[in-house]
């Protein structure tokens, strides 16, 4: 049975770094996280980090973290065990998670540890883009302002985590207003683990193939990316089409009375009828 979003423990984390590219040697200089469930804070994590290298002038202009502030800070290898314990068993989130996760995995590699294989991850930037498709920008500060959040982005890890949490809470409310409360549906829309998403899509495609073979209709709940709307459709499936690594259900839609194409990752749930 699909868990409800409110039943899941989430961790939102953020990093500040010496620069923008860990592949060119940039390192984490600050890391912070908040753990919460049902919009209630359960705990928090924060530490400056000695990166064993200079901070770029451009990074300092953004986060105002100086070299002197980091001289007596712990090194990342001593922080990682506590941080990994803090996120254990959670759905790990960030605003633009590929950036923060890339730096975190780089630190794990440098510490001689395997990269993070967190089973449940989500990108709050993707959440913003999908739920607020008409915004002209999805920069964190702009999204927060549009959602009526007065706090400003300070480009320090913990304050940005707090701001991201506020954005997440507003977006979760919007999602609930659309009738989406299941955690699996949440992951289908905003998940950041390709392994998990591929598994979820494979399950859906298997059910679609079975319906096609038996000549049965499907009742689907579909999230439209264009208008950020959820609708219920009855569809006679005809085929599964793969186009540029995106999978689609092609079939006759009885609501529109014509053949339509549906992104499989936007099908929230389905049943054979």
**Catalytic residue ranges:** 155
Going by C-alpha positions, the residue among 47, 90, 48, 79 that lies closest to residue 65 is: 48
Strand order in the sheet with 229-243: 258-263, 246-253, 229-243, 218-224, 267-272
Is residue 265 a contact partner of residue 208, using CB atoms and an 8 Å limit? no
Q: Which two tokens stand for residue 205?
A: 């495609």
What is the torsional sign of CA 260, 263, 269, 270? positive
Going by C-alpha positions, the residue among 172, 192, 194 that lies closest to residue 95 is: 192
Q: Quick one: residue 25, left, alpha or beta (phi over 0 = left, psi -120 to 50 = alpha)?
A: left
Going by C-alpha positions, the residue among 252, 120, 267 that lies closest to residue 206 is: 267
What pairing do the DSSP bridges indicate for beta strands 121-123 and 91-94?
parallel
- Give the integer Cα–Cα distance in Å for 84 and 159: 20
């Amino acid at each position: 049975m699909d868990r409800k979003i409110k039943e899941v423990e989430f961790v939102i984390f953020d990093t500040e770094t010496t620069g923008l590219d860990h592949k060119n040697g940039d390192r984490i200089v600050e890391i912070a996280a908040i753990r919460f469930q049902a919009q209630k804070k359960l705990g928090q994590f924060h530490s400056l980090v000695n990166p064993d290298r200079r901070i770029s002038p451009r990074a300092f202009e953004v986060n105002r973290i100086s070299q002197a502030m980091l001289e007596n800070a712990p090194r990342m290898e001593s922080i990682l065990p506590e941080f990994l314990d803090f996120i254990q068993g959670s759905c790990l989130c960030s605003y633009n998670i590929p950036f923060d996760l890339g730096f975190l995995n780089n630190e794990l590699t440098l510490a001689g540890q395997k990269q993070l294989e967190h089973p449940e991850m989500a990108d709050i930037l993707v959440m913003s883009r999908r739920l607020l498709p008409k915004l002209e920008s999805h920069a964190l500060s702009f999204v927060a302002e549009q959602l009526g959040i007065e706090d400003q982005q300070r480009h320090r890890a913990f304050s940005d985590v707090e701001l991201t949490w506020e954005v997440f809470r507003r977006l979760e409310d919007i999602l609930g207003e659309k009738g989406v409360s299941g955690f699996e549906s949440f992951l289908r829309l905003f998940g950041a683990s390709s392994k998990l998403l591929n598994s979820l899509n494979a399950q859906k495609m298997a059910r679609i193939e079975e319906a096609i073979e038996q000549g049965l209709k499907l009742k689907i709940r579909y999230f439209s990316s264009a208008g950020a709307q959820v609708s219920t459709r009855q569809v006679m499936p005809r085929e599964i089409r793969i186009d540029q690594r995106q999978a689609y259900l092609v079939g006759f839609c009885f609501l529109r009375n014509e053949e339509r194409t549906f992104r499989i990752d936007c099908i929230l749930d389905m049943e054979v009828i």
